[in-house]
Structure 1
Amino acid sequence: MSGTTPKMEIVWMNVTLFCLYHIAALNGIYYFLTLQIHWKTFLWVCLLQCLSSQGITSGAHRLWSHRSYKATLPLRCFLCFCQTIAFQNDVYEWARDHRVHHKYTDSNADPHNASRGFFFSHMGWLLVRKHPDVISKGKTVDMSDLEADPVLMFQRKYYLILAPLCSFVLPAVIPWYCWGEDFYVSWCYATMLRYLVSLHFTWLVNSAAHMWGTKPYDRNIKPAENILVSYLTMGEGWHNYHHTFPWDYKAAELDKYSGNLSTAFIDLMAKIGWAYDLKTVSPDMVKRRMRRTGTATTKSDSKEYQQEDRPLFIERYCDSKNEKQLS
């Protein structure tokens, strides 16, 4: 793997598109602040934001990138649809980049290498040509499991039709057609502002959660526990834990759902039988890892981490018959 960073080649088409996206989103903010948005449009955007977030967190990330649980066909179809609304590349490409990110975190082979600064890891990586290491290492990642999923292959085949329709067209047309929202207002708010907010929240996981926060599980890596990012992304900001135990479907060690609504969603799906084989980490493994590589910033992080201090959330799920014990 190359140890040097070649001169960045700007992709001006992407720069232009993102500038236009942000201008339209600023108009959306203006219409919102001046109360020109219909209350139904506001609720519509909230719904779309929740759906697209679950498509990324519970779908592209925890299900397909890490295979931290299994899903029935109805749930896979639903999450694939939600991920299409997000318009962050098809699931196959999203998962491939994410697997490379975990295998070569914060190196030149990492698509959004945080070592190259906040802006690059946040969105700059989409505005320049990929580092040669990203391309070469990406070709070595095994994607056969996703290639065998007909739902993902259907999405990938028709993505350039489905994604603009689900993310750009319908979000603006439905408020205009169903309750008389001004079409341009609907476009700027329900489509562009919603889309940009979704993107920036996701990008914060790549940038802020790799730079600021605590490291109770592994002090030797950049990813950190960032509570703000966690709340903005429905649970993806507990990043020091996630990079230490990437196979855990919770992507966090928590005793409640606050800051991790994606885990609540997966648990709900498990209760109705649509999600199963949920993988988690034993309390003993967490405790040993914290003692070995973590930073003792709180009582639960220290060597005095006792039996009674174990998060009840983990203990409850370690006893579940639907989960696999990893020790």
Structure 2
Amino acid sequence: MTEVPKKSEPSLRETFRAFEKNLGFKNDIKWPVAISIILYHLFGIYWCYHYALPVKWQTVGFAMFMFLLSGFGITGGAHRLWTHKSYKATLPLKLFLLGAFASAGQNSLLQWVRDHRVHHKYSDTEADPHNANRGLFFSHIGWLMLKKNDQVLARGKQMDMSDITGDPILRFYNKHFAYFKLMLCFVLPTTMSMLLWGENWRCAIAWQCFLRFLIMFHCELTVNSLAHAYGYKPYNKNIVPSENRFVATVTLGEGWHNYHHMFPFDYKAAEHFDPFNWCTYFINFFRSIGWAYDFREATPEMINATAKRLGDGTPVHNPVDITNSDY
């Protein structure tokens, strides 16, 4: 009598793949990353509920300062300087921006710049790392939890990254980025709160490792999600990115996204001057002391012609020379 072979139990990987297929995901889930992100948020809620209060005013003020510093590292550094090369910076400013970017706890500068360049070239297509047409959750944070599809990977390999990989300072920075991120985003800010004004270590962790870090993290992600879902389109009604004042406010000036996708080289990332475009304030400060130079801007003629030809009819404002303004 022939013995019927027993069916082997599915492996953990096969079980996860079956679960992903049932959920209808186009990409495999990066389970270690997805679980880490979810647990970090849940643990952060628990920790802040128990330890964020009472808090010293210095701790709150320092968390706000770190929010601005890390935000500037993303907007003024990774985005406007290294991704779009909308201005040039001296060595002291570059080092300052590299430290500020590390304090934001993002992916490495090389990964950030590559993904954002792909996003602009193939915006809201299957080759876009955070394609907004796949839903608000995916474009906000879901894309970080899933493996990139073949088109995103292929286009990423085609990006010219020689300006990043060919710079010896940036090569060293990217090679040791995990260390810089750990120290400048988590260890040093928390330790400073404890040593300089005697904050309780649990409270210091709550405000630096969870509140400040996660609020900035999600503010930055709204550019990929909310600014691709809500707003008006005075410069090109045929693309997904929109002008979104809320996003512009929480990201220090990055929410004028319809304009930015039409004129990504403009260092202001906006046509009109917005009082909450703090990143442009910062850049212009360094311009005034000679640390930033060779600025690129779209001309009023270029802007008006584009808006007249492609815009949705929403009134636009001519650029303001904020370098010499009273702001």
**TM-score bin (small chain):** 0.7 to 0.9
2:292 corresponds, among 230, 255, 275, to 275
Any conservation in 1 of the 2:248–2:277 contact (CA below 8 Å)? yes
Aligned counterpart, 1:295 = 312
Amino acid at match of 2:211: L
> 1:229 and 1:31 mapped to 2: Cα distance?
30
Shift of 1:257: 4.2
- Cα–Cα, structure 1 residues 166 and 312, in superposed 2: closer, same or farther, change >3 Å? closer
> 2:91 and 2:201 mapped to 1: Cα distance?
36
Amino acid at match of 2:144: L
Aligned counterpart, 1:114 = 132
The answer to whether 1:158 aligns with 2:176 is yes
1:40 corresponds, among 55, 58, 64, to 58
Aligned counterpart, 2:200 = 182
> 1:90 and 1:269 mapped to 2: Cα distance?
24
Q: Which runs of 5+ in 2 are unaligned?
A: 1-23
Any conservation in 1 of the 2:271–2:318 contact (CA below 8 Å)? no
Q: Which runs of 5+ in 1 are unaligned?
A: 301-308, 318-327
Any conservation in 2 of the 1:209–1:229 contact (CA below 8 Å)? yes
Aligned counterpart, 1:49 = 67
Aligned counterpart, 1:13 = 32
- Cα–Cα, structure 1 residues 315 and 50, in superposed 2: closer, same or farther, change >3 Å? closer
1:285 corresponds, among 278, 285, 302, to 302
Any conservation in 2 of the 1:6–1:131 contact (CA below 8 Å)? no
Shift of 1:6: 7.0
Provide the secondary structure at the position in 1 that maps to 2:243.
coil
> 1:74 and 1:293 mapped to 2: Cα distance?
41
> 2:40 and 2:281 mapped to 1: Cα distance?
32
Shift of 1:126: 0.7
Shift of 1:246: 0.5
User: Which of 1 and 2 has greater Rg?
Assistant: 2
> 2:193 and 2:319 mapped to 1: Cα distance?
44
Q: CA deviation digits over 1:182-204, x for unaligned, max 9? A: 21221122112211111100110
> 2:266 and 2:187 mapped to 1: Cα distance?
36
Q: CA deviation digits over 1:141-199, x for unaligned, max 9? A: 00111122222112101112111111121122221222222212211221122111111
Any conservation in 2 of the 1:175–1:181 contact (CA below 8 Å)? yes
Amino acid at match of 2:73: G
> 1:310 and 1:11 mapped to 2: Cα distance?
45
Aligned counterpart, 1:30 = 49
Aligned counterpart, 1:59 = 77
Aligned counterpart, 1:262 = 279
Aligned counterpart, 1:312 = 320
Report the RMSD for the aligned CA atoms in angstroms: 1.9
Amino acid at match of 2:257: H
Shift of 1:113: 0.6
Aligned counterpart, 2:7 = none
Same amino acid, percent of matched pairs = 45
Amino acid at match of 2:32: M
Aligned counterpart, 2:14 = none
1:131 corresponds, among 149, 156, 178, to 149
Provide the secondary structure at the position in 2 that maps to 1:196.
helix
How high is the TM-score relative to the length of structure 2?
Answer: 0.88
Any conservation in 1 of the 2:53–2:203 contact (CA below 8 Å)? no
Provide the aligned length of Structure 1 versus Structure 2.
302
Q: CA deviation digits over 1:67-106, x for unaligned, max 9? A: 0000000000000110001111121111011000001100
- Cα–Cα, structure 1 residues 212 and 74, in superposed 2: closer, same or farther, change >3 Å? same
Q: CA deviation digits over 1:4-33, x for unaligned, max 9? A: x9732111211221122212332465368x
Q: CA deviation digits over 1:106-148, x for unaligned, max 9? A: 0111111101000000000011111111111100000111122
Shift of 1:275: 0.4
> 1:40 and 1:31 mapped to 2: Cα distance?
19
Shift of 1:229: 0.3
- Cα–Cα, structure 1 residues 315 and 155, in superposed 2: closer, same or farther, change >3 Å? closer
- Cα–Cα, structure 1 residues 125 and 242, in superposed 2: closer, same or farther, change >3 Å? same
Any conservation in 1 of the 2:125–2:131 contact (CA below 8 Å)? yes
Amino acid at match of 1:312: V
